[in-house]
Amino acid sequence: MATAEEERWLGEVCDVAAPEAVAVVDSVRRFTGHVWDVRTDTIVFPDGHRVDRDVIDHPGAVGVAALDDTGAVLLIRQYRHPIRGYLFELPAGLRDADGEDPLVTAQRELAEEAGLRADRWDVLVDYFNSPGGSTEAFRCYLARGLTALPQGRQLTGEAEEAHLPQVWVPLDEAVDLVLAGVLHNPTTVTGVLAAQAARDRGWRTLRPGPARMWRLSDTPPTVP
């Protein structure tokens, strides 16, 4: 058991990749899906402790907090089958186009889901959606200087994406809805709160749109 002194962190507070932290001695694919796969890794810690961990291999995703000239944020209402309900969400999409830059993915999703383009793109916030069991890395962009595309929203979607009603909500009001427990989509929650925090800091926390998107596991173990 670790001592109190050993449990005290004295280094820099910064997430880091550490593929050498544990040894992966076996990895078995359990499921191959339409979007993500599931594998079981057998890992050994430095103290010799050996455990199995199920991992969802996810391609990652991006979202867009689009702010208009009045400071309102765009939300889209979409059905989500796993929770059997409608959620208000920021425009977002999977990084399932091989080799596509995440900024390009975000620009494409804003066009496809909202019929908009933006003159300015900044990185708002990065996070891992469920790091205890998934490799999914998510980046939310801030898009400003919006104009409507001449052709409008590209009706490329079907099923859940066939009908995407839009609403523009003042950013402070959107924050109130998040904190009241009315909005639940993780992209909406993190994007709206991060947008307010960045605005209240004079936007100085924003990073350039092309900033590298860091993933904990760019090279997962080879799975048979």
Active site residues: 161
User: Could you tell me the CA-to-CA distances from 84 to 12, 78, 212, 221 in Å, in that order?
Assistant: 42, 11, 35, 34
**How many angstroms separate the CA atoms of 138 and 48, rounded?**
33
| CA–CA dist 66, 117 (Å, integer) | 10
* Residue whose structure tokens are 């359990």: 30
Q: Which H helix or E strand runs over 196?
A: helix 186-200
Q: Are 90 and 188 in contact (CB under 8 A)?
A: yes
* Integer angstrom CA distances of residue 114 from 35, 79, 84, 154: 23, 16, 23, 8
Phi, psi of 61 (to 5 degrees): -155, 170
